[in-house]
Amino acid sequence: MGLKFYTLDVFTDQRFGGNPLAVVMGADDLSGELMQSIAREFNLSETVFVQTSTRPAHSAKMRIFTPRSEIPFAGHPTIGTATLLAELNAPAHNGEKDALVILEQGIGTVRVGARFRAGTAAFAEFDAPKLPAEAGVLPPVDVVAAGLGLIPSEVGFENHKPLCYAAGHTFAFVPVSSLEAIRRARVNGSHWEKAFEEQGVSGVYVYTRQCEHTNSAFHVRMFAPQVGIPEDPATGSAAVGLAGLVHQFDGLPDGTHKRVVEQGYEMGRPSLIALTLVVASGKLTTVRIGGSSVRVSEGTLEV
């Protein structure tokens, strides 16, 4: 049996940047075991399998696999899959498209707005299906720093301190003092295990205010070796959690706040994530993730 597949680069407007994604179409008859084998074969941070939706008004059901396991939600698979389905199926008017793509995921139903304009890469955004919430504590700063191959004075800036936040996945968020320090961060052997693996987190998200671009608010990296991702070029689901820390530590007033998050530069795959936070009556009420994507390849998968 041959199944159509596509690859896209997500959170970028240039091919061979951003976070690569594989999308396998017509996957209704595939077992979970076979999907996991295919994801391992693609060996990307995530592979999506598109299935028939359970409701007529929905666009598709999708299952997401890392090379090691299935996950209920992820940002760049959501953006990339929605953009692809809109590109393939939505009607164009005067060469432009605007589409609402409704995706059934393990975390629930996610509605994605996709926009296509001549001369620019497709752009899509969605409201996070779950708001970020604090989800546990991390070891002392010296242990956290050792896990990343840093010294304790390089962990933390202003009032930001290491915390765990969850919004579908639980990540350890580690603020780092400088761009130079974040470039040196790494998975540091047994020190990593002591600092993070005992906490049960999906990954470790390291961030700093020092950035490559003046219009970026944060420069970040994300390591998740325990799920088969040594480092991720762009992590939308973790950016949702970052919104929780920004709200907690930066004291945002009521209103809509936009931030650009840059990631993947140390990997040679620069990515830009559009992060929007809505605060009302002092509470974080909406987190929105957006980004561009470009189609790179397509083919037939023999299964």
Q: How many residues does the chain have?
A: 303
Angle of helix 236-250 versus helix 75-89 axis, rounded to 10: 120
d(CA 249, CA 21): 33
Are the C-beta atoms of residues 21 and 66 closer than 8 Å to each other? no
Q: Which of these, 95, 169, 161, lies nearest to 129 by C-alpha position?
A: 169
Q: Which of 33, 46, 70, 96 is catalytic?
A: 46
212: how many CB neighbours lie within 10 A of its CB?
10
Alpha helix stretches (DSSP H) within the chain: 32-42, 75-89, 141-147, 179-184, 189-195, 236-250
User: Which residues, 6+ apart, have CB-to-CB distance to 33 below 8 Å?
Assistant: none
Residue 75 and residue 144: Cα distance in Å, rounded?
A: 26
Closest CA to 191 of 239, 241, 157, 140: 140
Neighbouring CB atoms inside 10 A of 31's CB total 9
Per the annotation, the verdict on 46 as an active-site residue is: yes
Separation between Cα atoms, residue 283 and residue 262, nearest integer Å: 25
**Catalytic positions:** 46
